[in-house]
Chains A and B, each alone.
Chain A
Amino acid sequence: MSGENDGNSAVIDNIEARRHAPLFKRLATHFHQYWQLWVLALPSILFVVIFAYVPMYGVQLAFRKYDITKGMTGGDWVGFQYFRQFFNDPMFVEIITNTFRISLWTLVMGFIAPIILALLINQIGSSKVKGFVQTITYMPHFISTVVMVSMLQIFLSPGTGLLGRFFGRESLMGDPNSFTSIYWISEIWQHMGWNCIIYLAALSSVDLALYEAAKIDGAGRLQLIRYVDFPTILPTVGVMLILNMGSVLGVGFEKVWLMQNTLNITASEVISTYTYRIGILDNQFSYSTAIGLFNSVVNFVFLVIANTIAKRASNTSIF
């Protein structure tokens, strides 16, 4: 701070003077000092404004009748017409149920599995074995969705597939009842290892004296996991839970879309695939935007609720 060598009153005067300096002057000082940081951040700000905030502004299309000559923001205002259309859509109940069913199964199972895996891997004594297990379990994470779904199709193909042959002539990929299970089990297979890294990171910070103290109190291996390891990762678990809550209605598009076929469509049409079908394939831009907005708002509300609860309950929050 300038003026450090002067008396106390001079310092105060100086601060006062700066606080009351005209806005223009303060901005000039700021940019003189930090223009290089602005330059470094500028491209990212531009990209975010153009590719995230312009579409967000364009969300008003959900309340307007799309007019190809007037673009995103020029059509006539129709209020909540498209939302009412969605709530009265004969597909509405089916789509919402499907979305909730698939995402809840995936969220709950996909949330628990990495925690268990991390606790298990943490119990491995040899660091070589540990490294090997980690290498193997992370691997499927890098397989693309297209390849993942075609692996499912090959392995589950009735009669001849690696798994399909145990289910007789019935095609699992075409069975609405097994769609959800196939979806979440393959999600876990693919991402369990990757998602457990964050818990392993937390576990590596356990104070070893705690194990010692617990052992003196007579704790066995399982109790050490229960009373030392588990509490250690609990804050991380909280944050991950909040982040996951933000996608309660956000089943990823790609995998569902690729797994869909005419046989399982009653169980596999979700909000994101319906938005695509209505919007891109049928060109009903306004209607599709309204469905997408409904989806975003629900997700956002869930995120805020989860965040508030977590904040009250355990002082964990993401904002």
Chain B
Amino acid sequence: MSFLQRGASTIPTVIPPKKKIRRNNSLQHPAHQQKTLGDRVIDGVIAVIVALIVIAILYPLWFIIIASLSDPTAVATGQVNLLPKGFSISGYSKILTDERIWIGYRNTIVYTVLGTAVNLIVTIPSAFAMSRREFKPRRVIMFLFAFTMFFSGGLIPSYLLMKQLGLLNSMWVFILPGAFGVYNMIIARSFFEGSIPEELRDSARVDGVSYFGFFFKIVLPLSSAIIAVIGLYCFVGHWNDYFTGLIYIRDQDQQPLQNVLQMILLANQTDQGSAGMTAAQSQNFADQIKFGIIIVSTLPLLVIYPFLQKYFNKGVMIGAIKG
């Protein structure tokens, strides 16, 4: 029976089992070995340093969360330290009624979903073609690609090109110019070269499977990890994109979330409070809104983050093999 007809479930067995690094039980990472007193002291020092780093990173993020839920005046006077004080969600209710945020949100979701899809459709097939060693022109093409990582035409020629193509003030400027990322392609190519055994292509060729058939029916189903990683990179990139909106979009209704945030967060407004507030109070209230907006805009990434963290990790590792 030919290899292909046995069904997809048998395919993963072709992938070699993960190598155990620990070949011998007597060999252990230094952190697990018997320790002398000096080693214990060093362990302790390392633990303290790492703990300080974790706190330095975590606390500002935690502070934003509790500050967004606290009474603005308590935040400003430094009474909010570890837990919310004087629980208040007035900042959030103000944000939820702000139409600009919702327009920005909607735009960003459209740009991100479409943009990520186009990124994948362009990048993954290209990476597959570039991973085929018998495809001689790949050296020249790779050079053309890699050169763009280190040299570019610059801001104005790109701007004039977009103008000529009619992409100014168009949603496609978020999707087309960045559709192909050389860096992502190289990561995916390394994955294909490292994880798709040559025997697989050989046996497929013997069975008369074309490159299309091989790519769509065999390679893609084995590549969900790398597709996830690159999809995530692109997703985050689109979600956080501020530059494109700044340069190419004049129309307020088309601005993505980041540019709306910039208008609200960094333009120092004091008109947020209602009548009857003192200047200090309305300043505090404006800060409260800022905390809330930071949470609201980062929420989608924070929600998916724990699930995807291991994939991110994997992606960089795959890229590192080549590095």
Distance of A299 Cα from B242 Cα, bound (Å):
24
Shortest C-beta distance, A293 to chain B (Å), equals 6
Instruction: Answer yes or no: B191 CB below 8 A from chain A CBs.
Output: no
- For A149, list chain B residues within 8 Å (CB): 266
Contact A38-B129, Cβ < 8 Å, known A139-B305, A276-B155:
yes
Which candidate, B4-12, B83-91, B109-117, B175-183, is the interface stretch facing chain A?
Answer: B175-183
Shortest C-beta distance, B15 to chain A (Å), equals 19
Query: A221 touching B43 by the CB < 8 A rule?
Result: yes
Distance of A288 Cα from B259 Cα, bound (Å):
24
Q: Mark B51-89, 1 if CB is under 8 A from A, else 0.
A: 001101110110110000000000111100000000000
Query: A201 touching B154 by the CB < 8 A rule?
Result: no
Number of interface residues of B (CB under 8 A): 104
- For A50, list chain B residues within 8 Å (CB): 161
Query: A144 touching B161 by the CB < 8 A rule?
Result: no
- For B39, list chain A residues within 8 Å (CB): 220-221
Q: Which residue of B lies closest to A212 (CB)?
A: B27
- For B54, list chain A residues within 8 Å (CB): 132-133, 136-137
- For B123, list chain A residues within 8 Å (CB): 44
Distance of A255 Cα from B99 Cα, bound (Å):
26
Q: Which of A132, A138, A194, A208 has the most CB of B within 10 A?
A: A208
Distance of A293 Cα from B152 Cα, bound (Å):
8
Shortest C-beta distance, A191 to chain B (Å), equals 11
Distance of A125 Cα from B63 Cα, bound (Å):
30
Instruction: Answer yes or no: A43 CB below 8 A from chain B CBs.
Output: yes
Query: B157 touching A59 by the CB < 8 A rule?
Result: yes
Query: B261 touching A146 by the CB < 8 A rule?
Result: yes
- List residues of B (117-168) whose CB comes within 8 Å of A's CBs: 121-123, 125-126, 128-130, 132, 135-136, 141, 144-146, 148, 150-161, 164
Distance of A197 Cα from B144 Cα, bound (Å):
28
Shortest C-beta distance, B209 to chain A (Å), equals 11
Which candidate, A8-16, A92-100, A115-123, is the interface stretch facing chain B?
Answer: A115-123
Instruction: Answer yes or no: A160 CB below 8 A from chain B CBs.
Output: yes
Instruction: Answer yes or no: A134 CB below 8 A from chain B CBs.
Output: yes
Distance of A54 Cα from B65 Cα, bound (Å):
46
Query: A51 touching B50 by the CB < 8 A rule?
Result: no
Query: B153 touching A155 by the CB < 8 A rule?
Result: no
Contact A236-B27, Cβ < 8 Å, known A154-B290, A289-B157, A296-B154:
no
Query: B305 touching A45 by the CB < 8 A rule?
Result: no
Query: B154 touching A59 by the CB < 8 A rule?
Result: yes
B312's contact among A123, A138, A254, A295, by CB below 8 Å, is which? A138
Q: Which residue of A lies closest to B313 (CB)?
A: A197
B266's contact among A41, A59, A146, A157, by CB below 8 Å, is which? A146
B161's contact among A55, A147, A208, A254, by CB below 8 Å, is which? A55
Query: B243 touching A254 by the CB < 8 A rule?
Result: yes
Distance of A246 Cα from B301 Cα, bound (Å):
30
Instruction: Answer yes or no: B297 CB below 8 A from chain A CBs.
Output: yes
Contact A193-B57, Cβ < 8 Å, known A40-B129, A258-B262:
yes
Instruction: Answer yes or no: A101 CB below 8 A from chain B CBs.
Output: no
Instruction: Answer yes or no: B2 CB below 8 A from chain A CBs.
Output: no
Instruction: Answer yes or no: B185 CB below 8 A from chain A CBs.
Output: yes
Distance of A217 Cα from B223 Cα, bound (Å):
45
Instruction: Answer yes or no: A56 CB below 8 A from chain B CBs.
Output: yes
Q: Mark A186-199, 1 if CB is under 8 A from B, else 0.
A: 00010001100110
Shortest C-beta distance, B239 to chain A (Å), equals 7
Query: A52 touching B266 by the CB < 8 A rule?
Result: no
B46's contact among A38, A120, A155, A279, by CB below 8 Å, is which? A120
Instruction: Answer yes or no: B13 CB below 8 A from chain A CBs.
Output: no
- For A137, list chain B residues within 8 Å (CB): 53-54, 57
Instruction: Answer yes or no: B306 CB below 8 A from chain A CBs.
Output: yes
Q: Which residue of A lies closest to B319 (CB)?
A: A198
Instruction: Answer yes or no: A244 CB below 8 A from chain B CBs.
Output: no
Instruction: Answer yes or no: B96 CB below 8 A from chain A CBs.
Output: no
Query: A144 touching B239 by the CB < 8 A rule?
Result: yes
Q: Which residue of B lies closest to A209 (CB)?
A: B27
Shortest C-beta distance, A311 to chain B (Å), equals 15
Q: Which residue of A lies closest to B29 (CB)?
A: A208
Instruction: Answer yes or no: B3 CB below 8 A from chain A CBs.
Output: no
Instruction: Answer yes or no: B240 CB below 8 A from chain A CBs.
Output: yes
Query: B135 touching A37 by the CB < 8 A rule?
Result: yes
Shortest C-beta distance, A45 to chain B (Å), equals 7
- For A154, list chain B residues within 8 Å (CB): 287, 290-291
Q: Mark A263-306, 1 if CB is under 8 A from B, else 0.
A: 00000000010011001100001001100110110011001000
Distance of A293 Cα from B261 Cα, bound (Å):
32
- For B29, list chain A residues within 8 Å (CB): 125, 208, 211
Query: A197 touching B152 by the CB < 8 A rule?
Result: no
Distance of A55 Cα from B294 Cα, bound (Å):
35
Contact A52-B160, Cβ < 8 Å, known A144-B240, A201-B320:
no
- Listed A/B pairs (21) with beta-carbon separation below 8 Å: A43-B122, A44-B145, A47-B176, A48-B145, A54-B161, A61-B157, A71-B160, A72-B160, A72-B161, A135-B306, A135-B309, A144-B297, A146-B242, A146-B259, A147-B265, A160-B78, A165-B78, A211-B27, A220-B36, A279-B155, A279-B156
- Nearest first, the 7 closest Cβ-Cβ pairs linking A and B are A55-B153, A292-B154, A58-B157, A125-B31, A44-B126, A144-B240, A40-B125
